Amino acid sequence: MSNDTMTCGQVRRKLPPYLDEELPGGTREQVTSHLASCPACRAELEALTADMGLLEQVRAPEVSPFLVTRVMSEIRQKAQVPARGFGRLVGTLSAALAVAVSIGAGVFFGSGLAQAANGVAANSTEAAVSYVESSTAGMYSLMAGGE
């Protein structure tokens, strides 16, 4: 095997950046050369291209204003627990992280990637709210000196 020849495993690891045109010139040429002579890697590239096409068709769901209102209300309610100095900073950052995670969970579950599209929005909203409620409750309990 010459230094210019890539194995199938090496090529397959480089297919995503190859499709995104992120490979440097020499590496891109090596992958292109390998793909020209390897039907298995070409099939892998075609499958990856098809998968990426499907992912581009998925529309991110809109976040319900009710979810945002309920999460922010819960955060404000839990924030009334006295926190001092560093604990307040940690609490604020944790609350922001909980909101971000809950929105991300809503997008993931609502997109149909985890479940079928029908009925997911309601379930993901409730799951996200439940997660935020349990996360913030545990966080504020720890900040207040609980276990």
pLDDT per residue over 88-108, tens digit each? 667 677 777 777 777 766 655
- Which residue has better confidence, 18 or 125? 18
What are the residue ranges spanned by the domains of the chain?
8-57, 65-143
Mean pLDDT of the chain: 73
Give the pLDDT of residue 125: 55
Check: CB of residue 45 under 8 Å from CB of residue 95. Answer: no
Q: pLDDT per residue over 52-96, tens digit each?
A: 888 888 877 777 778 888 888 888 887 776 555 566 667 677 777
* pLDDT reading at 135 higher than 90: no
User: Which carries the bigger pLDDT value, residue 10 or residue 57?
Assistant: 10
Rounded distance between C-alpha atoms, residue 126 and residue 67, angstroms = 9
Q: What per-residue confidence (pLDDT) applies to 23?
A: 92
Predicted TM-score of the model (pTM): 0.41
The Cα angle at residue 59 between residues 135 and 53, in degrees rounded to 5: 120
Quote the tokens at residue 98: 């909980």
Judged by average pLDDT, the poorest of 31-40, 85-94, 129-138 is 129-138
Rounded-to-integer distance, Cα 120 and Cα 10, Å: 38
Contact 132, 71 (CB under 8 A): yes
Q: What is residue 30's predicted lDDT score, i.e. its pLDDT?
A: 95
Residue that wins the pLDDT comparison between 34 and 119: 34
